[in-house]
Structure 1
């Protein structure tokens, strides 16, 4: 029996264009990312370096880029947050049938964009019993320690949890720890159809 539902954020609630940042950078004449940049991306997502350090590192690697161009390119992945999904989670929260947790690989630049462009973000956040962003807790999916952190912090039994994420490696990692999962396909599935799509669990 499911008692806790753990939600990803991007492509579950917020629509993403995952190829957009690469396209934006290519338009700015950045076609290849050295390994050290990819490592910095992961460090930034885990909150191990600040936004200023992150932007400064990109400017060192690509001196022709301005800080604003880096931020705009980084945020190009974010499309919109349909309000009907907020209404879905709000209703679920009000019904109080499940423990609701958000668990997302999200960095500070992205969440700043969300705060600025999604007027109901703070109300959305209040719908959850816990709201975990990777840059705030220094863990990221699909590493096992991020799931273990949530399970241990809230004293959860994995078999009583459903984890929803659009990235297969993330749901596979959660499943290895015993959680039920829904690897949502954002081009044809929507989180608001949860209780139809995974009706065998409820």
Structure 2
């Protein structure tokens, strides 16, 4: 029986379009080498580098010699193209009555600051209040799909894997969770709706 739900954030609870960020970078004159900076992105999303240093390290991967940090930050945040959907908070309130809810996200300081700014303190506060605990990769120094991050959530909260359901749009992430015995939903943002969660859960309960 499912008692706990762990949610991914981007593309599951809030729309996300990474192409918008790459298009914004391209308009600023990004070089092809920017897409090869996965180690830098990983370091930023695990809290290994501060935002100012991260933006500074992006600079050499553009044609122009000087781009304002604010412009780089705006481009980095372009994938967050809409506010936190209000109906998501209502749905979370409903699910919270029957399940223990957790949020587990690969994210970074710039993105969370942007989400807070666009949503406003009240809506963002209401959103995070629906979760028993929130896990942001840049705050805990771990990033999906590492098994350690899933084990941390389970152990921190005394969760049984077989009683836990995980929703994520990343195939590698759901595969790792599944190997640990967690029930999963590999969410497709183009075809699935998080509001179908009740139907998906009922299949696991039956």
Once the two structures are TM-superposed, the CA of residue 35 in structure 1 deviates from its matched residue by 7.5
Q: Is the 8 A contact 2:34 2:58 kept in 1?
A: no
Q: Is the 8 A contact 1:103 1:132 kept in 2?
A: yes
Once the two structures are TM-superposed, the CA of residue 34 in structure 1 deviates from its matched residue by 5.1
Choose 84-93 or 34-43, whichever is displaced more.
34-43
What residue is the counterpart of 1:141 in the other structure? 144
Residue 155 of structure 2 is aligned to residue 152 of structure 1: yes
What residue is the counterpart of 1:176 in the other structure? 179
**Matched residue of 1:47: which SS?**
coil
Q: TM-score, normalised by structure 2?
A: 0.92
What residue is the counterpart of 1:79 in the other structure? 81
* RMSD, aligned α-carbons: 1.5
What are structure 1's unaligned runs of at least 5 residues?
none
Once the two structures are TM-superposed, the CA of residue 147 in structure 1 deviates from its matched residue by 0.5
Once the two structures are TM-superposed, the CA of residue 36 in structure 1 deviates from its matched residue by 6.8
Once the two structures are TM-superposed, the CA of residue 106 in structure 1 deviates from its matched residue by 1.0
**Matched residue of 2:184: which SS?**
strand
Q: Is the 8 A contact 1:14 1:79 kept in 2?
A: no
What residue is the counterpart of 1:2 in the other structure? 2
Higher-helix-fraction structure: 2
**Matched residue of 1:16: which SS?**
coil
Distance 2:36 2:46 in 1: 15
What are structure 2's unaligned runs of at least 5 residues?
none
Choose 173-182 or 56-65, whichever is displaced more.
56-65
What residue is the counterpart of 1:104 in the other structure? 105
Equivalent residue pairs, number: 200
Once the two structures are TM-superposed, the CA of residue 20 in structure 1 deviates from its matched residue by 1.2
Map residues 1-202 of structure 1 onto 2, 5 A cutoff: 1-33=1-33, 37-62=37-62, 63-80=65-82, 81-93=84-96, 95=97, 97-119=98-120, 120-202=123-205
Once the two structures are TM-superposed, the CA of residue 99 in structure 1 deviates from its matched residue by 1.0
Q: Is the 8 A contact 1:59 1:66 kept in 2?
A: no
Distance 2:17 2:196 in 1: 21
Once the two structures are TM-superposed, the CA of residue 102 in structure 1 deviates from its matched residue by 0.3
Distance 2:104 2:7 in 1: 6
Q: Is the 8 A contact 1:101 1:130 kept in 2?
A: yes
- Cα deviations by residue, 1:90-122 (Å, 9 ceiling, x for unpaired): 2222x2x21110000010000000000013111
Choose 64-73 or 43-52, whichever is displaced more.
64-73
Q: Is the 8 A contact 2:105 2:137 kept in 1?
A: yes
